[in-house]
Amino acid sequence: MMNAETKITAEAQAKEDLYYMVHKGIRFANARMLVAIGQTDPADDAAVDATLARLAEHLEISRSHLEHENSAIHTAIEARCPGGSDHASEDHGEHLNSFEELARLAEDVASATIDRAAKLRRLYQRFALFVADDFAHMHEEETELQPLIEKHFSAEEIAGIHQRIVQNIPPMKMAKFLRFMLGGASPAERIGMLTGMQTGMPADIFNGMMEAVTGAKWRMGDWDALERAVC
């Protein structure tokens, strides 16, 4: 009887979702970035410069996320299920084109004079289209690729894929990802995420990471301060 129960528990072991939490963060950041571009006063040089700098950082993180999926997730899928990631890879190619176009439109805004308002509007509209495409793309990954991964990979293998992604992200870039993810997470998800990180990291590394995320010294358990910093 105990053997049967043990077997059932093992077979029912939950498998890590490689997409959901990071996608929540990207959706959150995409929405805030779109609003920020739309609210920017084209006559305010400092505001325009700040928005364009924020957009450049946003596109950098988005590109990094795409590269992580290509190198770690798509490679694993193709090794075990050839063709399984083809459509997602095509979407990623379109995303790369979008990043280049958005960067050019941002340069147009930066160099504009009397027509800055029109060029800022063009950037806003193009970014809105990118966000719409990205939302649809992430939904497909969560509802089609994640089940495919769960079907063909064990819980340990999926955890290994995630670990390889995390290990290849430099600390300062990880802090930027965490700002997205913690901002988009529910309070319970934030607690679970940071409790796990604190357990698995040296205290000085964890504290330094959180200081980079919040912009100030942060005490574990001060969830209100965290929400103010990331939301």
Band of residue 53 on the pLDDT scale cut at 50, 70, 90: very high
Q: Do 179 and 214 form a contact (C-beta atoms < 8 A)?
A: no
Residue 66: which residues within 8 A CB-CB, separation 6 or more? 92, 95, 96
Helix (H/G/I), strand (E/B), else coil: 114: coil
Helix (H/G/I), strand (E/B), else coil: 99: helix
Produce one character per residue of 184-195: b if its CB has 16 or more CB atoms within 10 Å, e if not.
bbeeeebeeebe
Band of residue 99 on the pLDDT scale cut at 50, 70, 90: very high
Does the pLDDT at position 3 exceed 70? Answer: no
Say how far apart CA 74 and CA 67 lie, in whole Å. 10
pLDDT tens, residue by residue, 175-226: 999 999 999 999 999 999 999 989 988 888 889 989 999 999 999 999 999 9
Quote the tokens at residue 24. Answer: 């929540």
Q: Do 204 and 172 form a contact (C-beta atoms < 8 A)?
A: no
pLDDT score for 36: 98
Does the pLDDT at position 7 exceed 80? Answer: no
Does the pLDDT at position 2 exceed 50? Answer: no
pLDDT tens, residue by residue, 12-34: 457 899 999 999 999 999 999 99
Q: Is 35 left (phi over 0), alpha (psi -120 to 50) or beta?
A: alpha
pLDDT score for 51: 98
Mean pLDDT of 50-76: 95
Say how far apart CA 222 and CA 64 lie, in whole Å. 30
Best CA proximity match to 57, nearest among 32, 21, 23: 32
Rg over CA atoms, the chain: 20
pLDDT score for 126: 98
pLDDT tens, residue by residue, 73-91: 999 999 999 999 988 889 9
pLDDT score for 170: 87
Residue with tokens 């571009």: 37
Best CA proximity match to 131, nearest among 55, 41, 224: 55
pLDDT score for 68: 93
